[in-house]
Structure 1
Amino acid sequence: MSNEKSPFIVEGKLSDNERLKGDSRHLRGSIDLDLKDELTGGFTADNFQLIRFHGMYQQDDRDIRAERAKQKLEPLHNVMLRARLPGGIITPAQWQIIDKFADDYSIYGSIRLTTRQTFQFHGVLKPNIKLMHQTLNKAGLDSIATAGDVNRNVLCTSNPVESQLHVEAYKWAKKISEHLLPKTRAYAEIWLDGEKVETTDNVEPILGDHYLPRKFKTTVVIPPQNDVDVHANDLNFVAIAEQGKLVGFNVLVGGGLAMTHGDHSTYPRKADDFGFISIEHTLAVAEAVVTTQRDWGNRVNRKNAKTKYTLERVGVDNFKAEVEKRAGITFGKSRPYTFTGRGDRFGWAEGIDGKFHLTLFIENGRILDYPQKTLKTGCLEIAKVHQGDFRITANQNLIVAGVPADQKEIIENLARKHGLIQPEVSQQRLDSMACVSLPTCPLAMAEAERYLPGAVTQIEDILAKHDVASDSIIFRVTGCPNGCGRAMLAEVGLVGKGPGKYNLHLGGDREGTRIPRMYRENIGEQEILNELDALIGRWATERELNEAFGDFVIRAGIIKPVVNSARDFYD
């Protein structure tokens, strides 16, 4: 942290996480000793938190927790690892390596594509954790800073290379990711058996010795696609082009969706548009936003520690002026842009180089073999013959990118054979998404991933009942209020409250630029369906031409729009 005392620093007793980070010896802690402890499958004390900075969360299978307790066994501790994959690009060779590791060492055997545009391993036991990191390293991958109080995996609009603009945007996503990474050698020392080099000389010039007050998320987005959901992120670079060439970015700061049930000091918030910067200032501005949040963010109350709360507390103008001062720039007037949608475009598309790209729908992002849908085997078989790369999308889908014309038929046949292409998938299913939730996430209050497929089928039936089966609603489910499923940017968002119970939110828009408001609190699945039946019935008969569901419920007075989430979200 900066030594300069600012009136915007929150005074008071620091949260225990600040003590933890300060005592960690730049994220080393005693993780290496915990790894050798065979008496428990988990990590103890501070290390439980510190492994997050290395890209892992300790979890257990909650479906069997009670049974293991009856047998006087500790929970089946394991870790979930989230890889660092700026822009979501992974090669076929790398895919084959992660597929084999999931087969051999994950107790679930799956690869999970996430809303952070990367993949996760679930269910890796302690004896195999070091091997996991070394396997990734040999493949040219890592999981540095994909969790914890740091800048996490940088997202980028994932449509494949259809223009030079996409090429440039991806390069900037990668540059931003590298620039904001922790500089400590803790990851290499612990997981890759690197030489131990401890120093006190300016180890973390950007993140600081105590790292950030809270997690930090960054995106690069290319209008008109808002597939990365800019308003879910702390820092966003909106690509601005002239004659097809990237000239700079509009910078959006302070978005975030997480909240805490019953605590009205927490809320989802849209990002503010600070203005335009030319391209050469990108890294300086990224660093300035991060360091301003580093120094001004709330280190006393973690529930109010994210960038969105810092902006509300100190004022947008003050935060913006500090960024300008630190970056040595002045923001220009924001350049015009429009978001028209945020879904992935499924099927084949042709790129600027004459190669083709196939976007595959992966429900919930879970790549596993099912009866009649051998998704994991199919992806592996494609990886064995594919000459381009894969792109993971922020909507949990997979793009087979850079396919030569003479390989199209081979790739498509493999995809169809293994159920990766299913012509009967409805638009409603394509527009629905959920977080992982139960049984592995320790924060989950209600089902999400396992609940979504059946819930979508019931919504499809309701749409058909009201003769709007060809239409769809942006529908998202998250098992707790932390926001991983981005339900707080949906037209219909369900936020888990307890087993089988959700808060029902309505009124987001299709472009992802409006936060929905709570319509019903703590209701069960049948009540949700009853409400949606009535509301979709009204939408079908009362809507204006091409009026989306989220826009209709606001125009019809069913729900008030959220204008400023910090001040009227709970009104």
Structure 2
Amino acid sequence: MSDEKKFTVDGPLSDNERIKGQSQNLRGTISNDLTDDMTGGFTADNFQLIRFHGMYQQDDRDIRNERTKQKLEPLHNVMLRARMPGGIIKPEQWLAIDTFAEENTMYGSIRLTTRQTFQFHGVLKPKIKLMHQTLNKVGIDSIATAGDVNRNVLCTSNPVESEVHQQAYDWARRISEHLLPKTRAYAEIWLDGEKLESTEIEEEPILSGQYLPRKFKTTVVIPPQNDVDVHANDLNFVAIAENGQLVGFNVLVGGGLAMTHGDTSTYPRKADDFGFIPLDKTLEVAAAVVTTQRDWGNRVNRKNAKTKYTLERVGVENFKAEVEKRAGVTFEPSRPYEFTGRGDRFGWVEGIDGKFHLTVFIENGRILDYPGKTLKTGCAEIAKIHKGDFRMTANQNLIIAGVAAEDKARIEELARQHGLIIPEVSHQRLDSMACVSLPTCPLAMAEAERYLPDAVTELEGILAKHGIPERSIIYRVTGCPNGCGRAMLAEVGLVGKGPGKYNLHLGGNREGTRIPRMYRENIDEKEIMQILDELIGRWSKEANDGEGFGDFLIRAEVIAPVIDSAKDFYEQPSI
């Protein structure tokens, strides 16, 4: 039996494989649906295919029942996620997306995401083409930001070591371009590009006509900051610098956080370290990892189709050897590095190039004008005068980067005027994060974005009660187990189970290198806070100097660490 056959999964293919195979390289009949005014949604296979074009069909679940009573279909709309490798956006681009959000979306907001890009929410079908064409005019697209492809490539938002960051960002951009689908379907459908005949359908040398078995995520990370959470991603390039210059990458493969409630064959998993490669092998290794996953990944059961499950099934060494063969490279031993944190650096910092960078806190990444806090207007006013760029972080915040010394005062004045700088934000609020969840996400089981602010206020009160208001916990909430809020790399992670109910996970660490274990299942918000009150009380009295909450819980034997999530994530070991 050939290696190719030995490492594939036999059985009836999932229906998504049929959809991709019959799509004519992601075209489907999307164009026909755009002209169908009998429904606000997309039909049949196109519901899945629009994801490859960066969109998800959603509806406002707050009003779904009322519309049903009125015998109306759900208020279908789409969410678009842009492709912004490394999260860098120019002021003129920002102004274009600000205007579109204001004039053409149901909610008027710009949403910064954990994938270091922005999303539009609530775009009705008559406005979808205008959205793509508006973005295209300023050099933005949404190609391959969803679906079974390599998605937006993340890069550490490092405003200090400017030269290394620029080099790392350039690689993030090149990796993104190298792994993009080659189909012209996006240009044909949304930009009115010239249509190809069916006999002229493009070749996809890396992705194939079937594309990948499941979504695929890639990052470039610059130690000591793990702000992109490498263990949440399929493929990670850890930047190794010498004398202020990038010399190569350690390659980590097979991370991922999504799971399915009640299905123990699914679990979060940390990435494996394959070793070091020089810079000139980066694109070859990226393609080799993707094509190995393309050929060996599970196309029978989508719940086990991610790269992490392929590594568990075929063995890490077999997967690594195949990547070496395909890339024509031998991995060297990994170069030493250390992660010391993963939060953003708020306020002003000066880069080695003498430029200044202002990181502002955007709670939940939602940029909108609120009473007394006009975030959206403030960002637009800054964009009108800013001569540098903006950097969207993987923690849903925004960096106003590349500010000359003579422009600092005016930028800061605008930021303070519009509530982008507020002195009273606690460390706890800065270290908390949530996914979008209700009312727009169709997968949401519980609140996340709308629940987080009040939950953090409660946590702040608990910390103050125990005499440690200056301390914080990496605290994350996701409305379902799909992992968008990266709760499975938090010290305290809440995973939605039902309305007002969550699974409580404890024991991750501040560096993002340990997966938390479930401590209580299907409990309400009141019980969660009661548990945290008790445990934070112990932490305040019993912790060693500088010991994080998750590390304390492990040392105090409140919960056992997850050593190998494929084997012991669901166990409740005695401690």
Interval of TM-score (by shorter of Structure 1 and Structure 2): over 0.9
In structure 2, C-alpha distance between the alignment counterparts of 1:422 and 1:544, rounded to whole Å: 32
Show CA shifts across 1:408-450 (max 9, x none). Answer: 0000000000000010000000000000000000000000000
In structure 2, C-alpha distance between the alignment counterparts of 1:414 and 1:332, rounded to whole Å: 49
Contact 1:162 1:350 in 2 (8 A): no
Contact 1:249 1:277 in 2 (8 A): yes
In structure 1, C-alpha distance between the alignment counterparts of 2:136 and 2:165, rounded to whole Å: 27
The alpha carbon displacement at 1:6 in A equals 2.3
Give RMSD over aligned pairs: 0.9
Aligned ranges 1:393-542 → 2 under 5 Å: 393-542=393-542
Partner of 2:87: 88
Q: Which amino acid aligns with 1:471?
A: R
Contact 2:182 2:202 in 1 (8 A): no
In structure 1, C-alpha distance between the alignment counterparts of 2:482 and 2:202, rounded to whole Å: 33
Show CA shifts across 1:454-473 (max 9, x none). Answer: 00000000000000101000
Q: Percentage identity across aligned positions?
A: 80
In structure 2, C-alpha distance between the alignment counterparts of 1:137 and 1:406, rounded to whole Å: 33
In structure 2, C-alpha distance between the alignment counterparts of 1:487 and 1:48, rounded to whole Å: 28
Partner of 1:310: 310
Q: Which amino acid aligns with 2:280?
A: E
The alpha carbon displacement at 1:191 in A equals 0.2
Partner of 1:48: 47
Partner of 1:116: 115
Partner of 1:549: 549
The alpha carbon displacement at 1:162 in A equals 2.5
Contact 1:160 1:391 in 2 (8 A): no
The alpha carbon displacement at 1:534 in A equals 0.3
Q: Which amino acid aligns with 1:190?
A: I
Partner of 1:272: 272
In structure 1, C-alpha distance between the alignment counterparts of 2:287 and 2:5, rounded to whole Å: 18
Partner of 2:213: 213
Partner of 2:378: 378
Contact 1:452 1:477 in 2 (8 A): yes
> What is the TM-score of this pair, normalised by structure 2?
0.98
Show CA shifts across 1:147-196 (max 9, x none). Answer: 00000000000122533111100000000000000000000000000001
Partner of 1:193: 192
Partner of 1:241: 241
Partner of 2:155: 156
Partner of 1:325: 325
The alpha carbon displacement at 1:202 in A equals 5.8
Is 1:168 matched up with 2:173?
no
- Secondary structure, aligned partner of 1:6: helix
In structure 1, C-alpha distance between the alignment counterparts of 2:299 and 2:528, rounded to whole Å: 38
The alpha carbon displacement at 1:201 in A equals 6.6
In structure 2, C-alpha distance between the alignment counterparts of 1:469 and 1:303, rounded to whole Å: 41
In structure 2, C-alpha distance between the alignment counterparts of 1:566 and 1:273, rounded to whole Å: 17
- Runs of 4+ in structure 1 displaced over 4 angstroms? 198-202
Q: Which amino acid aligns with 1:12?
A: G
In structure 1, C-alpha distance between the alignment counterparts of 2:326 and 2:284, rounded to whole Å: 8
The alpha carbon displacement at 1:79 in A equals 0.1
Q: Which amino acid aligns with 2:9?
A: V
Contact 1:161 1:167 in 2 (8 A): no
Show CA shifts across 1:373-413 (max 9, x none). Answer: 00000000000010100000000000000111111000000
In structure 1, C-alpha distance between the alignment counterparts of 2:471 and 2:394, rounded to whole Å: 22
Contact 2:24 2:201 in 1 (8 A): no
Q: Which amino acid aligns with 1:50?
A: L
Contact 1:62 1:440 in 2 (8 A): yes
Is 1:19 matched up with 2:18?
yes
Contact 2:487 2:494 in 1 (8 A): yes
Q: Which amino acid aligns with 2:47?
A: F
Contact 2:25 2:202 in 1 (8 A): no
- Secondary structure, aligned partner of 1:561: coil
* Structure 1 residues 474 and 241: CA distance shift in structure 2, 3 A: same
In structure 2, C-alpha distance between the alignment counterparts of 1:9 and 1:200, rounded to whole Å: 30
Contact 1:65 1:76 in 2 (8 A): yes
Count of residues paired in the alignment: 569
In structure 2, C-alpha distance between the alignment counterparts of 1:335 and 1:6, rounded to whole Å: 34
The alpha carbon displacement at 1:200 in A equals 5.3
Which ranges of structure 1 fall in alignment gaps of 5 or more residues? Answer: none
Partner of 2:132: 133
> What is the TM-score of this pair, normalised by structure 1?
0.99
